[in-house]
A and B are shown apart, each in its own frame.
Chain A
Amino acid sequence: MAVRSLTIAAAALAVLAASPAARAADLWGIEGEKAVVLKGKVVDLLCEIGGTCAPDCGAGRHQLGLVDGNGRLYPAAKGNTLFAGAVADLAPYCGKEVEVDGLVIESPRMHLLFVQKLKAPGDTEFRSAEAFGKAWEAAHGKADEWFRADPAVKAVIAADGVFGIKGLEPQP
């Protein structure tokens, strides 16, 4: 009986581990981080905070966040593409409820949401929040590191250098 129970439990755990809904976020070792599956409405921060509302949440021009069932607002700061945010992932779901699998960073300075995976209305499984990377590649072509190949980045660095001060060089 005990063996049977263990077998069933092991099988159940295997199913849970394979299930997208049971996926835990990747921890980054950040102080105050908390792995979450957060359900909330996608909102335009400028609308929520400043009262300037656009029907499409700014169409990718505005920072976005999630309001959970308790009315708490989480600014979405990070997506799953290196050095990129989550606006491209969330913007198509303006005003709709989504599920985010990711990290909430509870810092004394502010809390932030890191969107690692997203389940949008109609999705049966979570998918990685990599819309920025895909959009960048569609616009600019393949690159090993988008952030080094991006023309806007190149223009700023070319103007003032990697230190942001023209003529300043690394010390020997």
Chain B
Amino acid sequence: MLRRAVLSVPIMLSALSVDVHAAERVKVEGELIDTWCSVTGIMFAYGTAHHQCAVWCAVGGIPVSIKDKDDNTYLVLKVGDDDLSVANPKIVKIQSHEVSVDGELVERDGVKYLLVDAVADDKGIVNLTEAEYGVVPFGE
């Protein structure tokens, strides 16, 4: 019984390490997006056309992700020492911007989660969408 318990400890630690430590150092370049609208395809979810809606959603606590040019979507869980991922003012005010970040990528059940060290480069909004910024969802 004791022997079985001792043998199971490394197995438990190993299982734990899969969940918590299977992180990969990455550099990601892409647009900060409103995860819900982007993943579900609701409305036109990118760039200028979606900026206002993306701000609403980020302030409302909907997760913010980064979408890269290969259509990978990374759900952001923290930025540097700041563990705030719900309506983080630093992220809210740069919604829809093209950014470059370094961080740790952890993939689980097909979802890519990103622990960002810092936003290394912020190019502002470069995605002038919907026939060159002609549409603002929900107007006004």
Q: Which residues of A contact B (CB under 8 A)?
A: 28, 30-31, 33, 45-46, 48-52, 58, 60-63, 72-73, 75, 77-79, 81-88, 105, 107, 109-112, 114, 132, 146-148, 150, 152-153, 156-157, 159-160, 162-165, 168, 170-171
Contacts and interface: CB of A to CB of B under 8 A. Distances in A.
25 contacts: A28-B42, A31-B40, A31-B41, A46-B77, A46-B115, A49-B108, A62-B77, A62-B85, A63-B86, A75-B63, A77-B36, A77-B39, A79-B61, A83-B56, A83-B60, A105-B40, A109-B39, A109-B72, A112-B36, A132-B61, A156-B95, A162-B52, A163-B51, A163-B125, A165-B125
B60 A81 contact: yes
A78 B34 CA distance: 11
Chain B facing A: main interface SS: mixed
Contacts of B113: 45, 49-50
A63 B113 CA distance: 11
A49 B77 CA distance: 9
A75 to B, nearest CB: 6
Given A75-B75, A111-B111, A153 B56 contact: yes
A50 B77 contact: yes
B86 A62 contact: yes
Highest count of chain B CB atoms <10 Å: which of A49, A60, A147, A153: A49
Contacts of B35: 77, 110, 112
A83 B136 CA distance: 15
Contacts of B23: 50
Nearest to B61: A85
B40 A30 contact: yes
Nearest to A54: B83
Give the interface size bracket for B toward A.
35 or more
Contacts of B49: 163
Contacts of B56: 83, 147, 150, 153
Interface of B: 19-21, 23, 35-36, 39-42, 48-49, 51-53, 55-57, 59-63, 71-73, 75, 77-78, 83-87, 89, 92-93, 95-97, 104, 106, 108-113, 115, 124-125, 132-134, 136, 140
A58 B84 CA distance: 8
A18 to B, nearest CB: 30
A159 B40 CA distance: 29
B51 A85 contact: no
A150 B60 CA distance: 10
A164 B125 contact: yes
B106 A50 contact: yes
Nearest to B72: A109
Contact of A85 (B39, B55, B60, B104): B60
Contacts of B72: 109
Contacts of A52: 78, 83
Contacts of A87: 61, 86
B134 to A, nearest CB: 5
